């Protein structure tokens, strides 16, 4: 479960975020709220949440000032202003995403996905597995291990995961690994070998196989294409 706080001086924003989380069974537990920047700092330092919904314009301290004083939490900025300069400043300070008011559910869902780095569904069991894979994708992941962790049978996990994700657990692991490697090849300029090893592939042939399967091109072709854009 993702521990989150909401920091916004408008109660309507608190209510709509809670409403969307509750009716859509999102794996998010709101552990506290604040209506000004000073209280937001104290709340975040006390609760150490995984995720912070942060308004820009609040009394005492604005959202940007709060972000500079906290560590260890992913931040989704909330703003009523469609401002490019606000977006630039938020991203420079390390915000994961920006939500524009009025908040829409799909916008919220995608922002949470991007911030936490893994997807989620209406199934608590599948969400537990998705979170585990999101944190351990580079390790060997087996159904037996997931079964112990979720107190389910392997067959139940296989059926439930396929139902909600439209793919097997193993296919999802490879999907996450390849998506991560694409990011490293593109943004961090890692070598193909370095990206493969960081993603959990000790065999380069396996990496090439799954990379082409999920992207339609080889890693070298991908790097060349991205650098020509």
CATH number of 2-116: 3.40.50.2300
> Considering the entire predicted model, what is its pTM?
0.77
Report d(CA 40, CA 35) in Å as an integer: 7
Q: Which two tokens stand for residue 44?
A: 């975040």
Higher pLDDT, 157 or 64: 157
pLDDT value for 70: 85
Above pLDDT 70, what percent of the chain?
97
DSSP lists the bridge partners of residue 79 as 100
pLDDT confidence band for 62 (50 / 70 / 90): confident
Say which residues have a Cβ less than 8 Å from residue 175's Cβ, sequence separation at least 6. 167, 214
| Contacts with 211 (C-beta within 8 Å, 6 or more apart), sequence order | 178, 181, 217, 218, 219, 222
Distance between CA atoms of residues 177 and 110, nearest Å: 19
Copy the structure tokens of residue 161.
């995961």
The predicted model gives 187-206 an average pLDDT of: 92
At residue 143, does pLDDT exceed 60?
Answer: yes
For 146-174, what is the mean pLDDT?
95
User: Which neighbouring-strand residues pair with 77?
Assistant: 54, 98
**Domain map (residue ranges) of the chain:** 2-116, 124-166, 171-228
Contact (CB, 8 A) for 159 and 62: no
Contact (CB, 8 A) for 169 and 146? yes
Bridge partners of 18?
none
Mean pLDDT over all residues of the chain? 90
**Band (51; pLDDT cuts 50, 70, 90):** very high
pLDDT of residue 229: 65
Q: Note the Cα 186 to chain centre separation in Å.
A: 19
**The token pair that represents 117 in the structure block:** 């780095």
Report pLDDT digits (tens) over 66-118: 888 888 899 998 887 665 566 677 777 778 888 888 889 998 998 998 888 88
**What are 29-39's pLDDT values in tens digits?**
999 999 999 99
**Locus of tokens 């569904």:** 121
pLDDT class of 151 with cuts at 50, 70, 90: very high
pLDDT the model gives residue 209:
95
Give the pair of three-digit tokens for residue 20.
């969307």
* Alpha helices (runs of H) in 2-142, residue ranges in sequence order: 11-23, 37-47, 63-69, 84-92, 105-116, 124-136
| Domain topology for 171-228 | Arc Repressor Mutant, subunit A (1.10.10)
């Amino acid at each position: 479960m993702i521990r989150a706080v909401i920091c916004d001086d408008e109660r309507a924003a608190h209510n709509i975020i809670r409403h969307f989380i509750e009716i859509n069974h999102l794996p998010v537990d709101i552990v506290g709220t604040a209506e000004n920047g000073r209280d937001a700092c104290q709340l975040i330092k006390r609760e150490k949440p995984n995720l912070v919904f942060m308004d820009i314009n609040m009394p005492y301290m604005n959202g940007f000032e709060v972000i500079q004083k906290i560590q260890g939490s992913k931040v989704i900025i909330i703003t009523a202003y469609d401002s490019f300069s606000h977006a630039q400043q938020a991203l420079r300070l390390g915000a994961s995403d920006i939500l524009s008011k009025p908040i829409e559910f799909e916008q919220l869902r995608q922002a949470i996905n991007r911030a936490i780095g893994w997807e989620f569904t209406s199934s608590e069991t599948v969400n537990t597995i998705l979170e585990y894979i999101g944190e351990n994708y580079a390790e060997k992941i087996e159904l037996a291990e997931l079964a112990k962790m979720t107190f389910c049978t392997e067959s139940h996990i296989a059926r439930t995961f396929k139902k909600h994700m439209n793919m097997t657990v193993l296919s999802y692991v490879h999907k996450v690994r390849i998506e991560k490697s694409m990011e490293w090849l593109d943004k961090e300029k890692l070598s193909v070998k370095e990206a493969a090893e960081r993603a959990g592939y000790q065999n380069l042939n396996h990496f090439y196989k799954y990379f082409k399967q999920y992207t339609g091109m080889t890693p070298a072709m991908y790097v060349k294409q991205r650098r020509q854009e």
